[in-house]
Amino acid sequence: MKQKGKEFEISFHLIYLCVLTILGLVMLWVETGAGRPIVIRILCLLVLILIWVAHCTQIGTASQRVYFYTITATLFLMYYGSHRASITDMPLVLCLILIVLSLQEDMGLIYLISISYPLMILHHIFITQYLSENMTKLVLSRLVLGVVCVGLSVFISHFFIRANENKRQELLKMQKEIETSRNQTKNLLANVSHELRTPITAINGMTEILLQRQLDESLMGQIDDIHQSGQRIQSQINGILDYAELNTGTMVLNEQVYNVRELVDRCAYTLYANRDGKNLAVSVDVDSAIPTFLYGDGEKIVRAMHQLIDNAYKFTNYGSIRLRVFSRREDYGINLIFEVSDTGVGMSKELIHRLFEGAYKEDADSARLTSGLGIGFTIAHELTRAMNGFIYVKSRVGNGTDIRVTIPQKPAVIEAKKPIEPVKEEQTTAPGNTRILVIDDERLNLKVVRGMLETVGYQVKIAEGGSEGLALCELEDFDFIFLDYMMPGMDGEETLRRIRSVRNGFYQQVPIVALTANAASSARVQLLELGFDEFVEKPVEIERLKRVVEELTGGNKNE
Quick check: is 458 in a domain? yes
Question: pLDDT at position 64, please?
Answer: 93
Mean of the pLDDT values across residues 161-180?
90
Q: For residues 143 and 139, give the distance between their C-alpha atoms in angstroms, rounded to a whole number.
A: 6
Quick check: is 149 in a domain? no
Does residue 555 carry a pLDDT above 70?
Answer: no
One DSSP character per residue, 42-92 reads HHHHHHHHHHHHHHHHT-S-HHHHHHHHHHHHHHHHHHHHTSGGGTTTHHH
- Kindly report, residue by residue over 311-331, the tens digit of the pLDDT: 898 888 889 999 999 999 998
Residues 467 and 535 in one domain: yes
- Kindly report, residue by residue over 329-342, the tens digit of the pLDDT: 998 889 999 999 99
Question: pLDDT at position 127, please?
Answer: 85
> Where residue 460 sits, what CATH number does that domain have?
3.40.50.2300
Question: pLDDT at position 171, please?
Answer: 92
Confidence of residue 477 (pLDDT cuts 50, 70, 90): very high
Higher pLDDT, 447 or 130: 447
Q: For residues 486 and 517, give the distance between their C-alpha atoms in angstroms, rounded to a whole number.
A: 8
Confidence of residue 189 (pLDDT cuts 50, 70, 90): low
Q: For residues 89 and 143, give the distance between their C-alpha atoms in angstroms, rounded to a whole number.
A: 10
Question: pLDDT at position 432, please?
Answer: 67
- Kindly report, residue by residue over 256-265, the tens digit of the pLDDT: 899 998 898 8
Task: Identify whether the C-beta of residue 327 lies closer than 8 Å to the C-beta of residue 335.
Answer: yes
Task: Identify whether the C-beta of residue 477 lies closer than 8 Å to the C-beta of residue 501.
Answer: no
Least confident residue range of 123-127, 205-209, 231-235:
231-235
Determine how many CB atoms are found less than 10 A away from the CB of residue 521.
21
Residues 90 and 124 in one domain: yes
Task: Identify whether the C-beta of residue 355 lies closer than 8 Å to the C-beta of residue 393.
Answer: yes
Residues 270 and 396 in one domain: yes
For residue 329, which phi and psi values (nearest 5 degrees)?
-80, 135
Quick check: is 148 in a domain? no
Quick check: is 451 in a domain? yes
Task: Identify whether the C-beta of residue 440 lies closer than 8 Å to the C-beta of residue 466.
Answer: no
Non-local (6+) Cβ contacts of 100 within 8 A are: 15, 16, 19
Higher pLDDT, 406 or 278: 406
Confidence of residue 169 (pLDDT cuts 50, 70, 90): very high
Higher pLDDT, 440 or 204: 440
> Where residue 270 sits, what CATH number does that domain have?
3.30.565.10
Q: For residues 467 and 459, give the distance between their C-alpha atoms in angstroms, rounded to a whole number.
A: 21
Domains in the chain, number: 3
Residues 256 and 396 in one domain: yes
Task: Identify whether the C-beta of residue 114 lies closer than 8 Å to the C-beta of residue 60.
Answer: no
Does residue 174 carry a pLDDT above 70?
Answer: yes
Quick check: is 463 in a domain? yes
Least confident residue range of 1-10, 86-95, 377-386, 544-553:
1-10
Non-local (6+) Cβ contacts of 173 within 8 A are: none
Mean of the pLDDT values across residues 57-71?
93
Q: Report the sign of the C-alpha dihedral through residues 132, 137, 142, 148, in that order.
A: positive
Residues 370 and 513 in one domain: no
> What is the H or E stretch that residue 319 is in?
strand 319-330
Q: Using the 3D structure, point to which of 384, 411, 438 is the last residue of a domain.
A: 411
- Among 512, 524, 496, CA closest to 548: 512
Task: Identify whether the C-beta of residue 299 lies closer than 8 Å to the C-beta of residue 413.
Answer: no
Quick check: is 342 in a domain? yes
Mean of the pLDDT values across residues 342-364?
74
Quick check: is 226 in a domain? no
Does residue 552 carry a pLDDT above 70?
Answer: yes
Q: 3-state class of 129 per DSSP?
A: coil
Q: Using the 3D structure, point to which of 360, 381, 411 is the last residue of a domain.
A: 411
Higher pLDDT, 461 or 414: 461
Rg (the chain; Cα; Å):
37
Q: What mean pLDDT value characterizes the chain?
A: 84
- Give residue 322's domain range: 252-411
Does residue 69 carry a pLDDT above 60?
Answer: yes
Q: At what angle do helices 492-501 and 466-475 cross, to 10 degrees?
A: 10
Task: Identify whether the C-beta of residue 256 lies closer than 8 Å to the C-beta of residue 295.
Answer: yes
Non-local (6+) Cβ contacts of 490 within 8 A are: 465, 466, 467, 470, 498
Does residue 422 carry a pLDDT above 70?
Answer: no
Confidence of residue 468 (pLDDT cuts 50, 70, 90): very high
Confidence of residue 194 (pLDDT cuts 50, 70, 90): low
SS3 content of the chain, % helix, strand, coil (to 5): 60, 15, 25
Q: For residues 23 and 69, give the distance between their C-alpha atoms in angstroms, rounded to a whole number.
A: 13
Mean of the pLDDT values across residues 267-295?
83
Q: For residues 93 and 106, give the distance between their C-alpha atoms in angstroms, rounded to a whole number.
A: 19
Quick check: is 197 in a domain? no
DSSP state of 480: E
Residues 347 and 286 in one domain: yes
Residues 380 and 430 in one domain: no
Task: Identify whether the C-beta of residue 63 lies closer than 8 Å to the C-beta of residue 29.
Answer: no
Of the chain, the percentage scoring pLDDT greater than 70 comes to 89
Determine how many CB atoms are found less than 10 A away from the CB of residue 257.
14
Confidence of residue 364 (pLDDT cuts 50, 70, 90): very low
Residues 265 and 397 in one domain: yes
Q: Which residues pair with 280 in a beta bridge?
A: 319
For residue 474, which phi and psi values (nearest 5 degrees)?
-75, -20
Residues 343 and 462 in one domain: no
Q: For residues 374 and 356, give the distance between their C-alpha atoms in angstroms, rounded to a whole number.
A: 13
Question: pLDDT at position 192, please?
Answer: 72
Question: Which stretches of 212-297 are DSSP H helices?
Answer: 217-248, 260-273
Residues 366 and 483 in one domain: no
Does residue 238 carry a pLDDT above 90?
Answer: no
Q: Using the 3D structure, point to which of 135, 153, 188 is the last residue of a domain.
A: 135
Residues 407 and 260 in one domain: yes
Question: pLDDT at position 426, please?
Answer: 44
- Kindly report, residue by residue over 225-234, the tens digit of the pLDDT: 888 888 878 7
Q: Is omega for the bond preceding 422 within 30 degrees of 0, making it cis?
A: no
For residue 421, with 0-12 CB atoms within 10 Å meaning exposed, 13-18 middle and 19 or more buried, which class applies?
exposed
Residues 401 and 263 in one domain: yes
